[in-house]
Chain A
């Protein structure tokens, strides 16, 4: 199966940074969901989902991020979404999720 989604993982301070590249839709979203689930299953409570290299995100991708955010909240952790592409940010804004998520144009660990 060829999946056009690149996912990398790195540690930055207290945060685990999951960087995603490609197009997130109903075909590729399961790959992201599995990766985030795997990271959260390890007990990671502070996570950054870096969407800087994501060219496309639809409601299926949003659903994956919502589920991850809920898990992080339930674990009393924190999740940062990094995104600076206007057309991706617009998806968060239209759906009313731009303030529900902690969205930043870049990640600067405190």
Chain B
């Protein structure tokens, strides 16, 4: 059921956070499933279409980094996507291969005239995540990988 909206079109609080967890093998073809899960959760709660598209893009970028990192290091352990929806929307992507080195986190958008597109991408993904999400956090996790936490804050969560 979509969350009801008040007269000003702002989302009501969802009393309890709803969490969906997806674990998937580190293969590129599964990233569309991760997008589908996160996007559908948001849609079912009546989140505005353009915000749903931002969520799909954020999930795709973070999962792409995770899958690439694990494939490069031949780590077969599953990648974990947690989507947590209450007044805000938070996604956590946990990999087992250190997908994002700390020095990459503050990268700006590359100059298209100078980018080198290699196996790890052209370098647009991380700055794109940082621009789209209200909060981003990249940390080393206990599995020796990276956990990326991306949050769209309450003000961001317009409803359709």
The residues of A with any CB-CB pair to B shorter than 8 Å are 4, 23, 25-27, 56, 58-60, 62-64, 66-67, 69-70, 86-87, 90-91, 94-97, 100
Chain B interface residue number, banded: 20 to 34
Whole-angstrom distance between the Cβ of B57 and the nearest chain A Cβ: 6
Task: Identify whether the interface residues of A are mostly helix, strand, loop, or mixed.
Answer: helix
Q: State the B residues within 8 Å of A (CB).
A: 28-29, 31-32, 35, 49-50, 53-54, 56-57, 60-61, 64, 67-68, 109, 112-113, 115, 117, 121-122, 124-125, 127-128, 131-132
Q: Tell me if A66 and B131 are in contact (CB < 8 A).
A: no
Q: Contact check, A27 vs B50: say whether CB atoms are below 8 A apart.
A: no
- Residues of chain A within 8 A of B50, CB atoms compared: 86-87, 90
- Which residues of A are found within 8 Å of B112, using beta-carbon distances? 66, 69-70, 97, 100
Q: Decide: A94 and B132 in contact? CB cutoff 8 A.
A: yes
Inter-chain CA distance A4–B64, complex, in Å, is 17
Task: Give 16 new A-B contacts, CB below 8 A, not counting A25-B32, A87-B57.
Answer: A4-B32, A23-B35, A25-B28, A27-B32, A58-B57, A58-B61, A59-B61, A59-B64, A59-B125, A60-B121, A63-B115, A66-B117, A91-B128, A94-B128, A94-B132, A97-B112
- The total of Cβ contacts below 8 Å across the A-B interface reads 75
Q: Closest residue to A73 on the B side, CB-wise?
A: B113
CB distance from A67 to the nearest CB of B (A): 5
Q: Does A56 contact B131, Cβ atoms closer than 8 Å?
A: no
**CA separation between A97 and B109, bound complex, in Å?**
10
The CA-CA distance from A97 to B127 in the complex, in Å, is 13
Q: How far is the CB of A106 from chain B (nearest CB, A)?
A: 21
**Cα(A89)–Cα(B152), bound, Å:** 20
The reply to whether B31 and A27 form a contact with Cβ atoms under 8 Å apart is yes
* Residue in B closest to A56 when the chains form the complex, CB atoms: B56
- Residue in B53, B121, B127 whose beta carbon sits within 8 Å of that of A63 in the complex: B121
Q: Note all chain B residues with C-beta closer than 8 A to A60.
A: 64, 121, 125
